[in-house]
Structures are given as structure tokens and as C-alpha cells.
Amino acid sequence: MKSTILRLLIGMAPVLSAPALLHAAKPVHEGDKPAKAAPAVVNAGLKLPAGFSATAIIEGLPQPRHIAVNKNGDVYVKLGKLKDGKGIVQLHQDAGGKATIEKAFGDFRGTGMYLKNGFLYASSDEEVFRFKLDGSENVADETPEKLVTGLLSRGEHEAKAILVDNSNRLFVNIGAYSNSCQGEDRKKGSMGVQGCPILDSAGGIWEFKADQANQHYGDGSRYATGLRNVVGMDFNYTNNELFVMQHGRDQLHDLFPDMYTVQQSAELPAECMYMVKKGDDCGWPYIYYDQFQHKKILAPEYGGDGRKTAGEKANDPVMAFPGHLAPNGLLFYTGTQFPAKYHNGAFIAFHGSWNRAPQPQEGYYVVFVPFKDGKPSGKWEVFANGFAGVEKITSPGQAKHRPCGLAQGPDGSLYVSDDAKGTIYKITYKGK
């Protein structure tokens, strides 16, 4: 990762002065550079810290996205592509750690999957459903109850990540159908629309009731705004707060070549973790977070030049990561199987970039962020690597596997889905 950070600093040279470059080397909230990882071992093609092992429990599923594990260890998988007309599979693991499809149900594709309060929740790109579970957390009725209909889906950032908290609130991400709310999306030099009308219906987290059928989009309330697209989110019950991972905007150089070099565009803006409360605004599309200057920067579509700050009332990220890594999964670890350093910390699955040229593409790994008292307490580190299967990636298609969803098993194991080759990994700790 040292080479990555060096590339980041070099890429910023046209904008930052020498003193600013020195300042940029310092981590934001102790978190924009990874800590030195423990000695790694290789399992199921993955590199993990010492004492951990990984098993590929199944392969070849059609685009597995988010996942959930019930109390007998069966894994529910939401499929991005239908398998024999079904969009959810339940996997049963044998004594040897291999899994087979126990059943398939749900006639809709999508991303969201969550297990809570005796129900399995699942989403398509336009709707949210729930399936009643029996006492063993197996689906008792394969005909779901439709909770929410009519969710906005306009061909960009369609995936509806979902989450249910202890207060029976259903949170749904509504991604913005735009890169930066330009008058003409992704057109060179096109300026941003003042008042960004997209934010009325997208670009944030919406709240619904988790136990009420036939809610429409308009029955929900906007919980938080100014979030371009969130695929990974989880509730941290240490401080009873919602945390989300934003996919940052793209193409700074392509759209404004006079302001940004290709190197800057490859590294900016940061992928950010936010803690959000009801009514919060994280600033999209008016600002982005620059992890080198450690500032919220005015977007060029709204008069920025790479240095002007803005968004004084917008949330600051609690942690910033290198740009364009595409965080798709977020999980706060509440188990006890892993060593104490991991307890109540956050795992993040980075799906991998497509737009970091001329730099190699990055991501394609699972990272860990230590937490204390509900806040990040140290540097992030790469926890599970090797998904891509190659050292240098110039396009996402070269990656053999791409992490997407995360789930915790009843024994404290960590599960990771890969939506490229359809693999589900199980990571366990046996001790050093």
C-alpha cells in the first residue's frame, strides 16, 4: 500500500503546494492509509492474517449480492440474476464446509438482503419484500409480503440496499441517477443544476415501516440526503447509529480537464464512511471529500476549482478511503470467534474500481476498521485480499472475484459474496 499512497501524493502535485503535500500524508481520522497487516496465509485463493482460514463453500451462483446467515448456519443469498426463475437461494452447509442449494424462491432479482425479527427481507430494484421465518429461521412461506412498491429506478445506481433496525425501521438506499447532477449527465463542461432536483426523490436513505404492507415510495420519509449511492450500510449498536459507505463521484478529469489531471481523477474523491442521523446531509452533489487536503471541496459543476471549500453544514466523513474502490458491503462484527481487536469493528467489502486509469485498478478486497465507543479508533487495514487473482488490474473484467456482500454466522464466522464468479467464502479463526 505504500506504493499506492506514493502514487496518490504524486497525483496531487499540480494542485497542492509542498507544505500541503506533507499535510496530505497524514491520515484523516487515522484512517486514509492502511495499517501494516499481519503476516498473511493463503486459503481458497485469499490472503488473510495469521490464524484465519477461508473456504469457498459454493461457486458458480449467478451474481450473488448481499447475504444473510440464519442460526443453523444456512446462508440466504440475493441474486442479481435469476436462477431458474428465482432470485433467492438458501444454502445448506455439510460437515465438510461445502454448501448446496437447499431451496430457491422469490421471482425477483436484486441486491438487498437482511435477516431480522423473524423475517427475511429482500429487495428488487423497485420493491421491498419480507418472508416469514419459522423457529429455525427457515422460510416458512415462500409467498412474500410486499412492504414497499414504486421505488425509483432509472438505469443508474438502481440497487436497493436495505437494513432493518431494532426499532422496526426499514432503511432503503435510493441511489442518484446521476454522477454529479449536471444539466447533461457526464458531459464535458456541463454545469450542475442549482437546487439539484434529484435530491427530492433520490441521492439518500429513505425510511419506511418494517412491518407494514403495501407502502408506496411516497409513504416513506427521507432519513438522510446528499449521498450519491450507498450499497453498504449497517447499524452500529454500540452507539445505536446508522453508518453508510458512499460511492463517490467519477470523472473529474474527463469532465473538467483544465482543473484536474488524470492522476488526480484516478484518486479523487475519497470513498467515505459516514455516520448519519435523521435529517443529515452529506453534501452530494455540491461537494466531495478530498482525502489529501482533508477538506470538503466545492464540486467543479458548482464553481469549484479543486481548492475551494464548501459544505460547512454537511457531514464530515468518519473515515476516508482511496477513490473509486466501490464499497458494496459494511458489517459491524458482533461475534466472539475473532480476536478482541475485531470486536465491534467494521468490515467493508470493496467491489473494485473501473476508473482509476492510468493507475492500476484498485479494491477487490475486504478491509477492517477498528472501532471504540462507536467511532473509528485506528487505521484501516486490508483483511482479506487476493479476490482478483492477479497483481495488477487494468479493467474490472480481469478480476476473477469481486467482493460484494458480508454476513456474520452464528458462530462468529465471516461470510463474503463474490458477484463475478458466484463464490461464497466463509472465513474462520482457529488461532495462531
413 within some domain:
yes
Instruction: Calculate the alpha carbon distances from 353 to 170, 232, 325 in Å.
Output: 29, 15, 5
Residue 22 counted as domain residue? no
Q: Kindly tell me if the per-residue pLDDT of 226 is higher than 60.
A: yes
Please report whether residue 157 resides in a domain: yes
User: From CA 174, how far away is CA 159, in angstroms rounded?
Assistant: 8
Query: 362 phi and psi, to 5 degrees?
Result: -130, 170
Average per-residue pLDDT for the chain: 91
What are the pLDDT digits (tens) for 235-277?
A: 999 999 999 999 999 999 999 999 999 999 999 999 999 999 9
Q: Does 141 have pLDDT greater than 50?
A: yes
Say what the pLDDT of residue 395 is: 84
DSSP collapsed to 3 states, 73-107: CCEEEEEEEEECCEEEEEEEECCCCCEEEEEEECC
Domain containing residue 187: CATH number: 2.120.10.30
Whether residue 18 is predicted with pLDDT greater than 50 in this model: the reply is no
Q: Which domain holds residue 250?
A: 52-429
Q: Tell me: the pLDDT tens digits for 27-55?
A: 344 345 666 555 555 699 999 999 999 99
In a domain, 110, yes or no: yes
Lowest-confidence pick of 15-24, 47-56, 343-352: 15-24
Residue 386 neighbours by CB distance under 10 Å: 20
Averaged pLDDT for residues 14-26: 31
The distance in angstroms from the start CA to the end CA of the chain is: 25
Quote the number of domains for the chain: 1
**193-202, 315-324, 343-352, 388-397 — which is least confidently predicted?**
388-397
In a domain, 263, yes or no: yes
Which pLDDT belongs to residue 131?
Answer: 98
pLDDT tens figures, 174-196? 999 999 999 999 999 999 999 99
Domain membership of residue 68 (yes or no) is yes
pLDDT for the residue 357? 86
Q: Is residue 178 part of a domain?
A: yes
Higher per-residue pLDDT: 15 or 304: 304
Is 47 inside any structural domain? Answer: no
Among the residue ranges 239-243, 261-265, 361-365, 388-392, the one predicted with the least confidence is 388-392
Q: Is the pLDDT of residue 427 over 90?
A: yes
Residues 312-342 have pLDDT tens digits of 999 999 999 999 999 999 999 999 999 999 9
Averaged pLDDT for residues 108-128: 97
Residue 352: what pLDDT? 92
